[in-house]
């Protein structure tokens, strides 16, 4: 990556890094660590022209999160800013942008 110009790393964390729900505290801790890792790597790799960013999505409708939304999607989405569950494609488009040269001014 150092040999290439404008390389990018995208780390996937979760809203749980900021919201810290107690039911999944151990999960939240790992996601908070990923946010910190992003900030550190963003600074350390800047001179090598490697951008590092982190995506912290809200609740995404996947098999992994099924237990969090299976009781009712509307109820699960109540705390979400957009009032709906996300789908994997929502996150894929953000990651695609962060990996592209269109985001060349975004890091850390």
Residue 105 designated active-site: no
- Length of the chain as a residue count: 108
Domain ranges of the chain: 7-103
CA distance 17 to 57: 10
CA distance 20 to 14: 10
pLDDT in tens, 36-78: 999 999 999 999 999 999 999 988 898 988 877 788 777 767 7
Domain 7-103: assigned CATH number = 3.40.50.720
Verdict on whether the full-model pTM lies above 0.75: yes
pLDDT in tens, 14-45: 988 988 777 778 889 999 999 999 999 999 99
């Amino acid at each position: 990556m150092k040999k290439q110009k404008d390389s990018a790393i995208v780390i996937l964390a979760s809203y749980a890094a900021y919201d810290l729900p107690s039911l999944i505290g151990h999960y939240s801790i790992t996601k908070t660590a990923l946010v910190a890792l992003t900030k550190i790597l963003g600074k350390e790799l800047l001179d090598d022209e490697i951008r590092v960013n982190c995506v912290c999505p809200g609740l995404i409708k996947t098999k992994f999160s099924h237990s969090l939304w299976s009781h009712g999607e509307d109820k699960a989405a109540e705390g979400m800013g957009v009032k709906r569950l996300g789908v994997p494609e929502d996150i894929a488009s953000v990651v695609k942008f962060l990996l592209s040269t269109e985001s060349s001014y975004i890091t850390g």
